[in-house]
Structure 1
Amino acid sequence: MDFPRALDIDHSETLPRLPSWVTAGSAETLEDAAFLSGAALNHLYLLMARDDVPAALIRARLALRAAEACVRFSGRPERATALRDAVHFLRPGDLPGPGGEVYLSWRRAVARAVSVRSLGRALPTVEAGRIADCLAAGQGAPVNRAARVLEAMMATGRQEAPALILADAALSQTLGLDYLTPLLAAGLQRADLRKDGEELRRACHRAVVASVIETACLAVDLTRRAAQLQAVAPKLRAKGAGAAVEMFLTSDAVAAAALPLPPRAARRLCARLVELGALRELTGRDTFRLYGV
């Protein structure tokens, strides 16, 4: 039985930190904002490229944050807990509701490498040609391209989630990341989405800096937690435990029923991993529980 290799050191302690002049920087001009966001994005690129960083898990957690922001922009009341429930406890034939649909779109958008086809799966109501145009939105730096995509999509009356997904896709692609890394939604305000031109670019630069700061902190936390899960994996004897561990290392949350084990064995495995400090139970409920790193 193959398990992820246990880590001998806490790699979260070796991750590079954002310099203080980025985290405490004040952007008085568009040029200042662009300089700070460029430094932040360079840090993010190096961080997400590290083998010891659970990049898929980070993207999954950021997708939930982005979905929560989009639902808030639309005036709906659902927050992260409700969005998780709407997606993870869907029964065959059920609909996830508007908030759940937004979360599903973000989950699908981060699950596969950025392409017209993968984004088409995430955004089935957006024409493939429109997606291709967004991914080829001219020349320029990552944030400027993302702002152009966001402005163009919002000008056509698109909903916030498709516009922000495509803007983040353009940003990630221009940055050289294979997978969409959600940054803009969580850092923008609802009023920012009505801006255009230089004002929108400045808002996007500020959003990127704020989101990268949060993502860097998240990476430290999840790298440490992922290392703990990998360390205890060899102690698990249940058949299918290796595949279950991989699910936890790449997913924001997992229901025991979704694991590739018999129901009772799946519940025992989750309880054991919580006992070992390798997982957290995310709902605080006695039933319909969800587990995550």
Structure 2
Amino acid sequence: MTFARPDHSIDLDMLPRMPAWVTSARAETLEDVAFLSGAALNHLHLVLGRAEVPQALLRDRLALRAAEACVAFSGRLERAGDLRDAVHLLRSGDLPGPAGETCLAWRRAVERPLSIKALGRALPTLEPGQTATWLDAGQGAPVTRAAMVLEVVLREAPRADVAALILADAALAQALGWDHLVPLLAAGLKRADLRKRGGDLRFACHRALISSAVEAVRKAADLARQAAHLKAVAPKLRAKGAGDAVEMFLTRDAVAPSALPLPDRAARRLCDRLVELGAVRELTGRDTFRLYGV
């Protein structure tokens, strides 16, 4: 794989920024919060359409954030670093544990274009017919539709927080015309919000989407800059298979050297070189069993 030289005519600071009035306004009524969430989602929609944004990497990083929120909802203590370990250091035949399963569910939900089959990979315990029924439970505008799906799933399966939130985000993505699920609701909701119903739940979902859309736009801008730098330094990498390795970093939240398409020693040297060039970061702070990401 070869990489074109970076186009210096592209100014990544020109990615549209979320208007200040969206982030600073206080919404006291359902009408106000609905207006602000609509504005935030519209802005995110524009950012997601920009070629500079590494879409798969953004979705994977948002999936980690959603998984962390869901694990916290269940009362567990694992955080992002623990979830990365549970997924990326998993050996053949090992079980990821409850927190790892949650992280895998979200990662699988965002990997492929949105469909019942793709959701089935993320939620294998659900029958396709049940998934389709729940996904179609919402009606109306996008956020209302998502809130209705969330409410129906949690009413019929009170312990299925992860499935409910994944399906609610899927309903939102469908309503907005997005090809892939973008994890937004889980990170913005509070645990108590999952017990709300009707207008109270819609209000909570609108509020959650404002904060999550703002954060997603910020992450998109950061990742666009970092991805551009990684592509710029890629021609300096001499290792065979370096191009495929760079592509992995551009699509995944975290990568273990052992997952790269290089011999072990060469993979570790490549990771060290990318850290030296400021193109990736070491994410664990450990001397062994390290993980790297943009």
Change (3 A) 1:118 1:200: same
Q: Structure 2 matches for 1:79-90, cutoff 5 A?
A: 79-90=79-90
Q: Is the 8 A contact 2:138 2:147 kept in 1?
A: no
Q: Is the 8 A contact 1:6 1:230 kept in 2?
A: yes
Aligned to 1:165: 166
Q: Deviations over 1:75-104 (max 9, x none)?
A: 011000000000101111100000000000
Q: Is the 8 A contact 1:6 1:232 kept in 2?
A: no
Aligned to 1:152: 152
Distance 2:154 2:87 in 1: 26
Distance 2:97 2:35 in 1: 40
Aligned to 2:279: 278
By how many angstroms is 1:139 displaced?
A: 3.2
SS at match of 1:140: coil
Q: Is the 8 A contact 1:10 1:224 kept in 2?
A: no
Matched length: 293
- 1:207 and 2:212 matched: no
Distance 1:10 1:269 in 2: 27
By how many angstroms is 1:21 displaced?
A: 1.2
Aligned to 2:46: 46
Aligned to 1:227: 228
Q: Is the 8 A contact 1:239 1:261 kept in 2?
A: yes
Q: Is the 8 A contact 1:183 1:208 kept in 2?
A: yes
Distance 2:166 2:182 in 1: 9
User: One-letter code of the match for 1:48?
Assistant: L
Distance 2:127 2:4 in 1: 40
Q: Is the 8 A contact 1:33 1:206 kept in 2?
A: yes
Q: Structure 2 matches for 1:68-147, cutoff 5 A?
A: 68-147=68-147
SS at match of 2:180: coil
User: One-letter code of the match for 1:107?
Assistant: R
By how many angstroms is 1:182 displaced?
A: 0.4
User: One-letter code of the match for 2:148?
Assistant: R
Change (3 A) 1:161 1:5: farther
Q: Is the 8 A contact 1:52 1:223 kept in 2?
A: yes
User: One-letter code of the match for 1:32?
Assistant: D
Aligned to 2:258: 257
Q: Deviations over 1:236-258 (max 9, x none)?
A: 11111111111000100000000
RMSD value, Cα: 1.1
By how many angstroms is 1:217 displaced?
A: 1.1
- 1:181 and 2:182 matched: yes
SS at match of 2:50: coil
Uncovered stretches (5+) of structure 1, i.e. residues with no partner: none
Distance 2:4 2:213 in 1: 28
By how many angstroms is 1:52 displaced?
A: 0.8
Q: Is the 8 A contact 1:134 1:170 kept in 2?
A: no
Distance 1:109 1:237 in 2: 35
Aligned to 1:292: 293
By how many angstroms is 1:208 displaced?
A: 0.2
User: One-letter code of the match for 1:271?
Assistant: D
User: One-letter code of the match for 1:46?
Assistant: L
Q: Deviations over 1:4-47 (max 9, x none)?
A: 54242564311101111111111111111111011111011110
Aligned to 1:63: 63
User: One-letter code of the match for 1:213?
Assistant: V
Q: Is the 8 A contact 2:137 2:152 kept in 1?
A: no
Uncovered stretches (5+) of structure 2, i.e. residues with no partner: none
Distance 2:7 2:264 in 1: 29
User: One-letter code of the match for 1:20?
Assistant: A
